[in-house]
Amino acid sequence: MHELLQPDTGKPLLLLGNEAIVRGALEGNVRFVAAYPGTPSSEILDRFYQLAGEADVYVEYSVNEKVSLEMSCAAAVSGVRSLCSMKHVGLNVAADAFMTLAYVGVQAGMVIVSADDPSLHSSQNEQDNRYYAKMAGVPMLEPSTPEEAKAMTLMGLDLSEKYRIPVMLRTTTRVNHCRGPVRLGTLPEQRPSASFRKDPFNLVVVPMVGRRLRLLLLEKLAGLQQAAEQSPLNFTAGDGRWGIVTSGVSYLYVRDAIQDLKLEDRVKVLKIGFSHPHPKTLFQDFLQSVDKVLVVEELEPYLEEAIKVAAQEAGVTVPIAGKGADFIPRAFELDAVKVKKAVSRHFGVPYDPPKVFSIPELPQRPPNLCPGCPHRATFYAIKKTFGQDAVYPTDIGCYTLGLLPPLNMADFLICMGSSVSTAGGFSKVLTQPVIAYIGDSTFFHAGVPGLINAVANNHHFLLVVLDNGTTAMTGHQPNPGMELTKEGKIAPRVSIEAVVKGCGVERVFTANPLQVKKTQETIGQIKAAMAEPGVSVLISKSPCPLHERRMTGKKQKVVFAVADSCDLCRQCLDELGCPAFVWEEGGETSACIRIDPALCSGCSVCSQICSSIKPKRLEKASQAE
Amino acid sequence: MTLDIREQTHMSSDMNMANIGIRIFFTGVGGQGTLLATRLVGEAALKEGLPVTISEIHGMAQRGGVVESSVAIGNILSPTIADGEADVLMAFEPLETLRALPKCYAGTLVISNTTPIIPFTVSTGKSVYPSEDAIYGPVAASVARLLRVPALKLAREAGSDLASNMVMLGVLAGTCRLPIGGNSWQAVMRERLPQRILAVNLKAFALGLELASQQT
């Protein structure tokens, strides 16, 4: 039995925030889950995928967030409780559906998890998605801990069903990827039956329907505001004439700050868990009960602005501080020390921040493409032919790491799918060659419209589809082009080559990048073909070795080693940049280049570019795990 | 060699965790098993009935980059550890030990695996890996206690290079810095580790434990 399906034994489980959300959804009888993976949200769908059969839940990895949200809403409109999760920027992709779904609403409970990433641990920006709830008019719950994440998933489903509107569960990395004790509830056994009631004048949003639904949404929001005012998720703790308003993980930093600064008798905290619509009366009552207020929240002054509006309307003039150089920073995550500093300054209590030891400048340890990664071989071959002068728009996936030296194969990136469309734009204004990189999963996610556009408008660039057969960066989730499964190799449900040709591209090439010479010949042909304007596509196809090993159990047979004939030309280090290579300064002996046998994956690419690199058969024993 | 963990880590009963909190910061390189070690500390604390919260960072960091995580036990709610607030630093690699020194304060216990993992920037000759003295000198001079652990050597002795993380965990248990008894350590390892690697991991843990008790 999957860990998340076990019955309550009275003992709490140490669950990841994301796992707690899954358990909450299961206890809330969610039977339909669709999502596109993205850190820090991925484990929600991954866990559902693992337990789908056992729990009788429909689970799918959708091609993108918009599709996943539309899938989930169809289920909820048909009376089946659903959940859809995405990283914060995923909601940008799904925003079109999100905004109007708020009008149309749902029949059964639907929770949309938006996993924000303050400090950009694994993201391109740190946008604050609480404003999406406000913009769409969708109720929002913000947990602080895994325990709350589970409880709020359940409450969100009920709230959604009661008000017939999707609920946003807004988490941050420190909730999604925090592990804490979670108490279990009971799992329902009865599966709800689905039915769709035809009601086009409420479900088909033409302007006349939209106008009425707009007014209905405002009515729902008025009711939801009352719900927020009464909600046990918004509560005060402690007593005193100083006030702190906070939400999410910041609440935990505030509690620690109050304890460490010994302010238990002087500070009253208003913890906001139900943060849209704003509980305005609650804010006003709180403001009237204190002499001074500090708002502690990560990223934007979302609560702070609402509280200042509430203060103005109630004619309350207590000083309210929040964002600002002296108080709560707007950029990046908070921590207990940042909060203690702000609390000490605002309320004038002494605090000695810890003296932080300084360290010398140290060698960096950036993440890198793995040894044997086929992307490296593709980058190498393209660079050999097109050089550093070409412009290389890239996209989001492991291959974004091609940014780092010595590959330097990334010049521009803003979001999923931007490689293809920006390549078109670059090609219209620049004279040098434009070569765009996109991964297989990202191609399905957001690359196809850009490619159709490029063909239709006769853009002039080469699109390289780095097809490793999986969504590797987020943990090897399946995608429509997947071929390797635990059950063996299957024909892909959707062939990238067929899609590319279907988009109208005529110059379509394929290569296996691990065959260096053949790949370079193909790229030579592409370069010649690019003398004529138009779109060319190279599908560079070789499975992610980690994924391949996991799916097929394929064992490595050889490692490569540098022979004595090496003349230290450094081509391997300076052009390929495989992390298995080591430059040894020597000392008494002369310098040398070595391949770390523990890291070498046996891909053989290096031996194809240098005659001094030779294979060595692995002994049977060391092949064992 | 005594393998009886219970005799060596028995200090939890008289510690009142309602008034005490311990922050443990873990750092290492992707693939070293730091997250598993973090999880086991958390599970062991939960077994003792202690409040516990763990924070992990997944995603891009796993591609050979630095992996950081933390455990807070006791009356601490913050899931992360600010600079200067780690009571224990569990560093799975020498260079990363020094990089994480800003997390420490004068009272910190540092447990450091002495086996280097050469970063790519060094192996290509673009930068130089600091000498052992350059790493451990400033650490030893700054914190209350530094334990240098030949984790790879002990893991090999236990039967697998991959068990270095359990050696580190054993050292942590052996310092008696955490209010977690030997039974809980044993129990979580038995619950969480696959049967085929359990014996080796228990042995690696015991070797770490012994090392710590020799240095106490």
Query: What's the whole-number mean pLDDT along residues A253-278?
Result: 97
Residue B64: what pLDDT? 76
Query: Does A12 reach chain B within 8 Å, measured CB to CB?
Result: yes
Region(s) of chain A under CATH 3.40.50.970: 3-191+198-228, 374-552
Rounded to the nearest 5 degrees, what angle is found at the Cα of A180, between the Cα atoms of A176 and A185? 95
Report whether pLDDT(B1) > 80: no
Rounded to the nearest 5 degrees, what angle is found at the Cα of B64, between the Cα atoms of B63 and B65? 95
Report whether pLDDT(B58) > 70: no
pLDDT digits (tens, 9 = 90+) for B73-123: 999 999 999 999 999 999 999 999 999 999 999 999 999 999 999 898 898
Query: Does A583 reach chain B within 8 Å, measured CB to CB?
Result: yes
Residue A12: its chain B contacts at CB < 8 A? 46
Residue B17: what pLDDT? 53
| Rg, chain A, Cα only | 28
Confidence of residue B125 (pLDDT cuts 50, 70, 90): confident
Q: Looking at domain A374-552, what is its CATH homologous superfamily?
A: Thiamin diphosphate (ThDP)-binding fold, Pyr/PP domains (3.40.50.970)
* Residue A83: HSE in the Cβ half-sphere, 13 Å Cα cutoff: 33
Residue A221 C-alpha, separation from nearest chain B C-alpha, in angstroms: 33
| Burial (0-12, 13-18, 19+ Cβ within 10 Å), A93 | buried
A94-98, A470-474, A584-588: least confidently modelled range: A584-588
Tell me whether 0.90 is exceeded by the ipTM. Answer: yes
Interface of A with B in 463-492 (CB under 8 A): 473-475
Query: What's the whole-number mean pLDDT along residues A201-226?
Result: 98
Report whether pLDDT(A625) > 90: no
Mean pLDDT of chain A: 96
CA torsion angle for A179, A180, A185, A188 (degrees, to 10)? -10
How far is it, in rounded angstroms, from Cα A521 to Cα B70?
Answer: 50
The answer to whether the Cβ–Cβ distance between B83 and A178 falls below 8 Å is no
Region(s) of chain A under CATH 3.40.50.920: 232-347
How far is it, in rounded angstroms, from Cα B195 to Cα B37?
Answer: 17
pLDDT digits (tens, 9 = 90+) for A31-71: 999 999 999 999 999 999 999 999 999 999 999 999 999 99
Residue with tokens 């709800």: A192
Nearest to A149 by CA among A13, A338, A281, A268: A13
Nearest to A397 by CA among A35, A18, A39: A39
CATH number at residue B180: 3.40.920.10
Q: For residue A303, give both structure tokens.
A: 């609560």
The answer to whether the Cβ–Cβ distance between B84 and A354 falls below 8 Å is yes
Residue B106 falls within a domain, yes or no?
yes
Query: What's the whole-number mean pLDDT along residues A210-220?
Result: 98
Tally of domains in chain B: 1
Residue A462: what pLDDT? 98
- Contact status, residue A514 vs residue A560, Cβ threshold 8 Å: no
- DSSP letter string, A314-327: HT----EE-BSTTS
Residue A145 C-alpha, separation from nearest chain B C-alpha, in angstroms: 9
- Which residue among B66, B76, B102 places its CB closest to the CB of A365? B66
Q: For residue A52, give both structure tokens.
A: 């789908």
Q: Which residues pair with A323 in a beta bridge?
A: A328
The answer to whether the Cβ–Cβ distance between A583 and B119 falls below 8 Å is no
More confident of the two residues B56 and B12: B56
pTM of the model: 0.95
Residue A160 C-alpha, separation from nearest chain B C-alpha, in angstroms: 29
Rounded to the nearest 5 degrees, what angle is found at the Cα of B161, between the Cα atoms of B67 and B6? 85
Question: What is residue A137's DSSP assignment?
Answer: T
Question: What is residue A399's DSSP assignment?
Answer: G
Examine residue A40 and say whether the peptide bond preceding it is cis (omega within 30 degrees of 0). Answer: yes
How far is it, in rounded angstroms, from Cα A570 to Cα A584?
Answer: 12
Residues in CB range of B174: below 8 A, 6 or more apart:
B8, B9, B208, B209, B210, B211, B212, B213, B216
Residue with tokens 């780095």: A466
How far is it, in rounded angstroms, from Cα B90 to Cα B28?
Answer: 8
Nearest to B115 by CA among B67, B155, B62: B155
Q: Which structural domain range is residue B58 located in?
A: 20-215
How far is it, in rounded angstroms, from Cα A95 to Cα A101?
Answer: 10
Residue B61: what pLDDT? 52
Question: What is residue A605's DSSP assignment?
Answer: H
The answer to whether the Cβ–Cβ distance between B56 and A179 falls below 8 Å is yes
Question: What letters, b where the CB count within 10 A reaches 16 and e where it falls short, cover A567-595?
Answer: eeebebbeebbbbbbbbeeeeeeeeebeb
Residue with tokens 């965990």: B169
- Name the CATH topology of A3-191+198-228: Rossmann fold (3.40.50)
Query: Does A502 reach chain B within 8 Å, measured CB to CB?
Result: no
Helix (H, G, I), strand (E, B) or coil at A84: strand
Query: What's the whole-number mean pLDDT along residues A268-280?
Result: 98
Residue of chain A nearest B97, judged by CA positions: A359
pLDDT digits (tens, 9 = 90+) for A154-213: 999 999 999 999 999 999 999 999 999 999 999 998 888 999 999 999 999 999 999 999
Which phi and psi (to 5°) does residue A374 adopt?
Answer: -65, -25
Residue with tokens 């799904």: A94
pLDDT digits (tens, 9 = 90+) for A353-407: 999 999 999 999 988 899 999 999 999 999 999 999 999 999 999 999 999 989 9
- Name the CATH topology of A232-347: Rossmann fold (3.40.50)
The answer to whether the Cβ–Cβ distance between A259 and B122 falls below 8 Å is no
How far is it, in rounded angstroms, from Cα A416 to Cα A93?
Answer: 9
Instruction: Give the whole-number percent of chain A exceeding pLDDT 70.
Output: 99
Residue A325 C-alpha, separation from nearest chain B C-alpha, in angstroms: 19
The answer to whether the Cβ–Cβ distance between A362 and B66 falls below 8 Å is no
How far is it, in rounded angstroms, from Cα B13 to Cα A276?
Answer: 45
pLDDT digits (tens, 9 = 90+) for A287-310: 999 999 999 999 999 999 999 999
Residue B117 falls within a domain, yes or no?
yes
Report whether pLDDT(B5) > 70: no
CA A150 from centre of chain: 20
Query: What's the whole-number mean pLDDT along residues A281-289?
Result: 98
Residue B39: its chain A contacts at CB < 8 A? 14, 179
pLDDT digits (tens, 9 = 90+) for B88-102: 999 999 999 999 999
Q: For residue A511, give both structure tokens.
A: 């290569």
Query: Does A336 reach chain B within 8 Å, measured CB to CB?
Result: yes
Confidence of residue B4 (pLDDT cuts 50, 70, 90): very low
The answer to whether the Cβ–Cβ distance between A178 and B55 falls below 8 Å is yes
Residue B61 falls within a domain, yes or no?
yes
Residue B6 falls within a domain, yes or no?
no
Report whether pLDDT(B18) > 90: no
